[in-house]
Structure 1
């Protein structure tokens, strides 16, 4: 990555981390909502649905909108809404209002990602390592959610949730200076570097959906599962989520570097193959060794994360907003739509069996990934003219 791109890429990663921290705060809220408000498995999985359903529908729509007209202000507005929703979820008392507040946070996440991914492509030129740096900002935000949110909630209860809005301010300070410099001017000519490959993009979208169901389902119930298997405390729950998200950040950074050497598609399907035994070990191994399998699962699930984004943008080079909205939107939200079904399965059987069943999903992603073509990497310069090349 060029030196001139390093600082703006890191600033984008900070903004991405700020918005995804609030996405990661939803699983952190779960033990506190169970303790303070008596919610059951289906109720808390419904909140994952609230955070995800609106986002999964709205994010591709935001992408389509930004393909027609650049809307750089969506990134800071999304940051504000993501934080405000979590703050309100801690203040309201009724379940419907809590559901609505978490949904508002999901809408903010949906508004942020397509325009932020477009901005990241402009800043990094579409380089896999640069895009993985942008993406890892989100992973770090997820990783910091239990580290920052759990102590605040443990000390002040759910009523302390508005204190987390300080983190929104940090994200805004990192994002706002980039908007004028790197955002395309209204009416600027869009380059047409190649033909859109819709069949490959649909297959990639299916890969992202099954990955999202597995990863979001795991993150939703992991805290409760660890309390059952290791230690019945909020600390054990927060530690498990931290390992999940921190190891995910490591996996995301590895993704861009491995892709440079072996190709994005090959790295993608090998990672999903590795996730199958890791997830089975997580569900079945007793005691503290569970944390090692949490880390292995997170790395295997996260190596392909930034690769999804660049593959989607290269499959649809003329619809960058749509590609970004779908790939990032499905990644962070589609799994939440299925979370209530996983909650019903957990209620009817056990969390252990439910998590073991999730291993079917990376196996499906591996099979689908074998069908993906390796596209030519589209590299976009700073000042908007496009050029293509392979790396």
Structure 2
């Protein structure tokens, strides 16, 4: 297995601007095949879905192609792939729908490690029906969220556990399969926020134990929309609000209004791009994705270790989060200095590394960083050794400037 970094980078027009991008956790750059797929979808005849005109058939093909692509990426059933405006929107929609099955005194477990998009929708839905919210903390010293942290909050009244597959703030990857087993033993459903983790390693819905899994293609080289994966049989038990004339079929009953066909074309192209990053990979698209994402995971791990080794020579910098399993995402604070200033300093050297709490507000506060957070450094498929060296040089230069 190998990650063809030169071949990958050559496909990203944005890289010609000369920036080193460590802002991938907030949204990745876009490769040329994805750009072309979006344009081609808009250039061809296009209409509402149907089977008569060419425009209708094109729309049907775009939807079916995107569902199959996302199913291949996530190890899911294409009949359980739901598209929406964003992962946040989909989580809100499903929180409201699931809350109809809860009674006063039922319990929902959320974690302080999560992005607020996997916290607030559940908190608000629980409040609306009189359900109880229970909070699973994580270890602020290591950044780790263990199954034991979640188990302490479970009871026979637990109806849902919402947990991240990878922290967008500090990279922690909890043992989701173990957490899911604990939740299922209590009869609870498991909603996994895979928005951050999906961009960095292979995903298998059944292996995770996720009843619902959300992600965002724009985090893994695609367009801006959201995707939810679940078993079709589970989706058939849920009845969301919808327009009277709209279909009651699954998964369409959860998709409000006309889908963004051109973005679905881009999503399929992004998955195909991921599948092709390992030039040695063979087999089905799912098999090539598993090989390619495994190679990417190793490439990013090597770069992440290079960053951490460089940071170790800068004692003013603290890395937050040392969990055993992490994505290649680091949160830094700098003794006596503002990370917002570091962000601006690096930007002046064409290095993109943003500062903030990135909607992981509970995690930032639990780490003792308040609402400010820190400087986030995240890798992407196009990250290379030269980028890393530019980052480390920029941080060293910043530390040598006057406060």
State TM-score, norm by structure 2.
0.28
Q: Which has the higher contact order (CA 8 A, sep 6+)?
A: 1
Higher strand share: 2
Higher helix share: 1
Give the number of the structure whose alpha-carbon radius of gyration is greater.
2
State TM-score, norm by structure 1.
0.29
